[in-house]
Amino acid sequence: MANNMNDILSMVPEPDYEALVGRIDNLWSSAKNRAVEAVNAQLLDANWLTGQYIVEFEQKGKIRAEYGKFLITRLAKDLTALRGRGFSRSNLIYMRKFYLYFPKGETVSHLLTWSHYFELLKCDDEMELQFYFHEAINQKWKVRELKRQIKSSLFQRLALSSDKKGILALAHQGHPIHTAEDIIHDPYVLEFTGLPQKKRFKESDLEKALKDNMEKFLLELGRGFAFIGRQYVIPIGGRQFKVDMVFYHCILKCYVLIDLKTNEISHGDIGQMNLYLNYFKNEVCMSDDNPPIGIILGARRDEVLMEYALEGITNQLFVARYQLYLPKKEELQAELDKVLAKRN
């Protein structure tokens, strides 16, 4: 019987059978994804409504602040007894905050999970929360990626390079990428490399650490970067030059060249990167590519020296600093508050 079955099955062309397996596999993958999305939507709606019920109960009963503290504690105890896990005092506090921050249910995006919102609601500033909300959706951040960006104070770092109007736009729209300036951070935070802050290390060590942690480096660089290679060879006049790292930016449609410097960026580094950019424009870029972008990433820079070194250069060339530790959010926020306090 088994032999007869094998003989019959052998008559079916293999490509046709593989196509059948593929169709069924895709069917169940899609069904599973839709089921997960449906469960997530229901969970978010339930969390939001729980927050609404708590707030409306507080307002209707005109509960005093002292009793309000005990309400959540009592609810956590009773709901856990009825429903089990998921109703801790902390969770209920965040469900309440969830409703208060998103009082209109239609503004809640089901593209994010409750774990995303749990992290978002830890932001003290509403503008900061709105920025990460939009960016998490636009860039499809996983929860761990969202946590890292909040921890690295991405909003404050980007906002400090803008005026008051730009900061407000950043908060309400996220961080759109239209020009080369939009992809530049200063400083870049590279704490994930694990390199020592005070001990000396080689540029090759930094380059290797970034390559070994490419997923985290791409997250720090921002949306649209695709890694091409390291130590990219540029042959000119019988000599070979090497660019530390080369990327392609899928939104700006151009190559991005990054040179790493462990010390202060010099004027000679500017000339070298300008050489690389000219080569790429003439020898590497295709007709439908936009002009390449060069970023010199160093530990320090002299602003006056850089101003003179960059004057007259027509290529898109930028110098930026990196640091191997997370910035102090309080200091960045204080500087941001000063910008926001100024009149337009």
**pLDDT over threshold 60, residue 1:** no
* Band of residue 8 on the pLDDT scale cut at 50, 70, 90: low
In this prediction, residue 113 carries a pLDDT of 94
Which residue from 95, 104, 85, 80 is spatially nearest to 47, judged by alpha carbons? 95
In this prediction, residue 61 carries a pLDDT of 58
In this prediction, residue 249 carries a pLDDT of 97
pLDDT (tens digit, 9 = 90+) per residue, 93-145? 999 999 999 999 888 999 999 999 999 999 988 999 999 999 999 999 999 99
d(CA 151, CA 149) in angstroms, rounded, equals 5
* Band of residue 68 on the pLDDT scale cut at 50, 70, 90: low
In this prediction, residue 210 carries a pLDDT of 95
Q: Are 316 and 180 in contact (CB under 8 A)?
A: yes
* Band of residue 38 on the pLDDT scale cut at 50, 70, 90: confident
Q: Are 115 and 143 in contact (CB under 8 A)?
A: yes
In this prediction, residue 344 carries a pLDDT of 52
Q: Are 165 and 344 in contact (CB under 8 A)?
A: yes
Note the pTM of the prediction, 2 decimals.
Answer: 0.82
Instruction: Indicate the burial class of 310 (C-beta count within 10 angstroms; 0-12, 13-18, 19 or more).
Output: middle
For residue 45, give every residue at least 6 positions away whose Cβ sits within 8 Å of its Cβ, in sequence order, or none. Answer: 105, 108
In this prediction, residue 172 carries a pLDDT of 87
In this prediction, residue 341 carries a pLDDT of 82
